[in-house]
Amino acid sequence: MLKRPRSLLNRTRQGLVMLGCVAMLGATPWADPVLGWDREKLEASAAARSPRALAALRAMLQMVERASALPDERQRLTVINNFFNQRIAFRDDMEVWGVVDYWATPLELLDKGRGDCEDYAIAKYMSLLAAGVPQARLRMVYVRAQFQGRAQAHMVLAYYPQPEAEPLILDNINPDIRMASLRGDLTPVFSFNGEGLWTGVGGTTAGNPLVRLSLWRDLLAKAREEGF
């Protein structure tokens, strides 16, 4: 499960249609900028929100600096995964934002102290990029997760140490970083990062990928405004 597809061009006809749709969206909204911290701008953005946001942001910046100094990427995964899993309380978007689906920037997430699965995955993804993990090794993955006796739409972050390797899964439901083959509760649907969109094996019941691309574009615009 969650094996990295060799190429979207070699996938199903559905995958080819998705690729065409991504191309039609254009390069600018899909492309992921090189992420880095503009500390002064980030701190100003956080201070405008609340003292809590500023304190949490500074803790995140320090955590990412510590992670980036670690020689082993697996150690970086652990530090960043634990930071967000331990600091953020899981709540759905309707409770936090009053809407069905909202993608928060890491700063918005830290300010609220609450978020859903997408928010965890986004914050870990951006933090790992800033800690020096190559973008090609990271994908946000929509899955169907067996949780409390039923299948639910869920998002996790996958890390591929090598292009064809089995990924490690960073998750807020299961805080332990585990190989994908040990996560029999997850069925992949589609995955994406700043380089593209890949189909999975589970259909599209976890969400429309093109809707997610729009949310992704909006998220990146917000993050740039904040100083990422």
* Residue-range domains of the chain with CATH: 8-226 (3.10.620.30)
Q: What is the pLDDT of residue 193?
A: 87
> What is the predicted pLDDT for the residue at 22?
33
> What is the Rg, in whole angstroms, of the alpha carbon atoms belonging to the chain?
17
Q: Note the pLDDT of residue 131.
A: 95
The reported pLDDT for the residue numbered 134 is 95
Phi, psi of 150 (to 5 degrees): -150, 160
Would the pLDDT of 219 be above 80? Answer: yes
What is the residue-averaged pLDDT of the chain?
A: 82
Q: Which one is predicted more confidently, 9 or 52?
A: 52
- Cα dihedral 42, 75, 71, 132 sign: negative
Distance CA 213, CA 165 (A): 26
Tokens of 195: 């380089």
Q: Give per-residue pLDDT as tens, 90-103.
A: 999 999 999 999 99
pLDDT in tens, 44-85: 999 999 999 999 999 999 999 999 999 999 999 999 999 999
The whole-model pTM stands at 0.82
- Give the number of other Cβ atoms within 10 Å of residue 43's Cβ: 17
Position 15 scores a pLDDT of 33
* pLDDT tens for each residue of 126-145: 999 999 999 999 999 999 99
The alpha helices in 70-137, defined as continuous H runs, are 73-87, 93-97, 106-112, 117-130
pLDDT at 163: 87
